[in-house]
Amino acid sequence: MGPNHRHREPTGASETIGTDALAKSAPDGHTIGLVSNAFSINATLFPKLPFDVHNDFVPVTMMVVVPFVLVTYPAVPANSVQELIALAKRQPGKLNFASLGSGSPHYLAFEWFKMLAGLDIVAVPYKGLAPAMTAVTAGEVQMMLAGLTAGLPQVKAGKFKALAVSPAKRIGVLSDVPTIAEAGYPEYDVNTWYAILAPRGTPAPIVARLNAEFTKALNTQDSVTRFTAMGVEVAPSSPEALWARIRGEIDTWGRIIKATGAKPD
């Protein structure tokens, strides 16, 4: 692609700072942005954004999809989603889960699980993934939804007990761990993902070239092997498929945000 390409890291204020910088960049193909599913969440989470989620960007490609894994402190007396639900229903408001903030994908994904199962489990906020995971391994909180890349080593080390994974289908690196959907909630299909966007007005030939180059890089055997070992799905897509997914998730997360009253931290 040449030496003069830049990217904007979506950091700060739930990624809105980097995303705003991308929206205001020249649409010449030299500046692209890496966004996560926070992009879809922010469309409803923030009452006002400095950019138009629907009109200020051009989709390029999905990059990778990272599942969540529902984990508990090993001593929690539940070895399946069904047993965890039964435990929580016997003790409404007594169990808790580690949250990364009310607008985070981790929090909203757990809230969706709670809504579907009719559970009263209390969110305990932590400033970042590391302290949240430490709280679970120490037994300060009973459970959390952890990104698989971070949670898998803890599961393998016996510091977390894995009860379920969040996608609709099981994951190869945890093939013996069922999905939440298998527990009776077929509509539950949640992942974190990372994708590439460009500013509105980026010419179609440039978008096509970017898409082709990213797809080629992601589909190398080395990339697939490395990502798969971490439980990450390599998932390059057409721009149209990416935009359809984003629009669908804006609707899904919007309903959950409105139901839970989640606010940006």
What is the tens place of the pLDDT at every residue in 221-259?
A: 999 999 999 999 999 999 999 999 999 999 999 999 999
Q: Is the pLDDT of residue 181 over 60?
A: yes
pTM of the model: 0.90
Q: What is the mean pLDDT of residues 42-58?
A: 95
For the domain 6-65+191-260, what is the CATH code? 3.40.190.150
Write down the mean pLDDT value for the chain. Answer: 93
The pLDDT tens digits for 140-160 are 999 999 999 999 999 999 999
What integer pLDDT is reported at residue 13 of this predicted model?
Answer: 52
pLDDT for 115 equals 96
- Each residue of 92-130: pLDDT tens digit? 999 999 999 888 999 999 999 999 999 999 999 999 999
Domain 6-65+191-260 and domain 67-183, same fold? Reply is: yes
Domain ranges of the chain: 6-65+191-260, 67-183
pLDDT at residue number 15: 83
Domain 67-183 class in CATH: alpha beta
**pLDDT confidence bin for 136, thresholds 50/70/90:** very high
pLDDT higher than threshold 60 for residue 2: no
Backbone angles phi, psi at 164, to 5 degrees: -165, 160
Residue of 175, 173, 112 lying closest to 97 (CA atoms)? 112
CA distance 60 to 209: 9
